[in-house]
Each structure stands twice: as C-alpha cells, then as structure tokens.
Amino acid sequence: MKNIKRILLFIVPLVLCGCLEVKQNIVVNSDGSGKIIETVMMSKAMLKELNNIFSGLGSEKGKKREKIDIYDKKKLEADAAQYGPDVRYVSSKKLSTKTKEGYQVEYAFKDINNLRINQNPGDKGPKTSKDEKSDAKQENIMFKFEKGDPATLVVSFPPMVKPSKEKKQKSVRKDKEAEKKEMDEMRLMFRDMYIGITVEPAGDIVETDATYRDGNTVTLLEIDFAKLVENEKEFEKFAQKEPETVEETKTLLKNLPGFKVEMNRKVVVKFK
C-alpha cells in the first residue's frame, strides 16, 4: 500500500497539470503598480476520480482523509509570494460550471519591476497532501517598467534552453495496439489543458512590437491543447518530442494555426 501511495503522489501532479485550464491577466497602471487576475478551472470528473483514488488509500494514523479541493484559500494566500516580494493577496472566489470547478484569485503588486510570472502551470492544481511541494519548473516572465508619457513596459521571456543531451531517444518497439492505447490516454489527459497569459495596460497602447495584440490587450501565450488533440498528425509529432518545458512546447506549436505563441525574447509596450 505504501508503494502504491508513493507512485500516485509522483504521477498525480503530472496528470493534474494536463487537466488544468489556467488564465492569467496582468493589469499594469501608469505608475507601475497593478494586479494579477488568475482563473483556474479543472474537470469535475477528474476531481471526483482523484478523491475516489485517494479515499481508497486510507489515511495516516486512522484519521479521515480530507477531500481534495481545487479551491484552497490558504494556499492562494501563500502563493502571493511566488509572484514577487511586494505582491499581496486581495481576494478569491470559487467558480463552478456544469462540467468544471475552480477559482478566480486577485493579487496586487506595487512595482511590476519586481513581478515574475511562471509560464509553467504545474503548481496550480489541487494539493493531494499537506506536505506536497511544487515541482513546477521556474520559467519566469520578467518585467521592466519606466514611467513617462508614454510609459514603457518591457516584457522578457526566459532564455531558450536546448533539450538535454541526456534525453535519450526511446527505441522500444511497440505494437500498433499498444501505441494507439498510449496515444488515446495522452489525448484524454491533455484535452482540457489550456494556458493563457495576457498583459493589459490601464491606458491606451500607443506602440508595441508584440506579435499578438487585440485592442488594449497583448497576448503573451495562448495554448489550447484541445485544438492540438483534434489534430491527430500534429499531436503524435508533439507526443514523440516529449517537451519538458513550456519554452520547448512553444517552439513545437508556434507554427500551428489557432495558437498564440510569442517567440520574441522581449516585447515592448508603450501606453498612456
């Protein structure tokens, strides 16, 4: 039983990451202050399945195991520190639709120069144990702001890192039935995954070199895996590459229609 529990504690976070819908909107004011509006949703069916799995494992010292819930106010309050030294929790609320459950949380920051946004959504899912620690890779987007008329915001992405040479190509032969089963399982896991990061200046954008701009909103990243799953040929290519980071994922998806992937290392937005 202990071995099964250890295996699940390792595998479940990977599955959770593939089932999350994460949207982050960074609103920046003319003085460099602002707020982060983060919305995270997850399939109710997946949450139910997780609770069924872990309730069957029992609990330590005979105590009843707490229900796994994607909305954890204490965790969200503590998460403010992940965004920077002067970021504070403002408010949050639980969200629910017919098929999904999640939350919306607002954080405020005094100076966007100290803000960091991790593109990797690995720590946004529900905790499966009190002692669980995030293992999400840090792929932080950073900001440089200068007041003025217009104000200037420079968004910097993490440097591109080539896949490790230690990443071995698997040469294990699989029969067609086994391959099909594996691909079907991956499609099921990734079909609900969505990552969206936008920047919204509290003023009018007068100049920007951003690839994706819609009115006063600049999209830094929009990856809807449901679109990828529907494209059987491209999904198989993606699965074979086994990307380990968001930056690797962006490189693989940048030319596919329906995805918004900013590939410039820096984006300048001027507004007033």
69-92 per-residue burial string, b: 16 or more CB within 10 A, e: under 16: ebbeeeebeebbebbbeebebeeb
- Taking the CA of residue 261 as centre, how many other CA atoms within 13 Å lie in the half-sphere pointing to its CB? 19
CA distance 201 to 242: 35
DSSP category for residue 113: G
Q: Pick from 126, 101, 5, 3: which is nearest to 55 by CA?
A: 5
- Tens digits of per-residue pLDDT, 90-112? 999 999 999 999 999 999 999 99
- Residues 107, 16: Cα–Cα separation, whole Å: 23
The total number of structural domains that make up the chain: 1
Summarize pLDDT for 183-219 with one digit per residue, the tens: 666 666 667 788 999 999 999 999 999 999 999 999 9
Strands (E) in 119-204, as ranges, are 140-146, 151-156, 194-201
> What average pLDDT is seen over the chain?
81
Domain span at 42: 2-271
> So what's the pLDDT on residue 19?
75
Say what the pTM is.
Answer: 0.81
Percent of the chain with pLDDT over 70: 72
Better-predicted residue by pLDDT, 168 or 198:
198
Residue 89 reports pLDDT greater than 70: yes
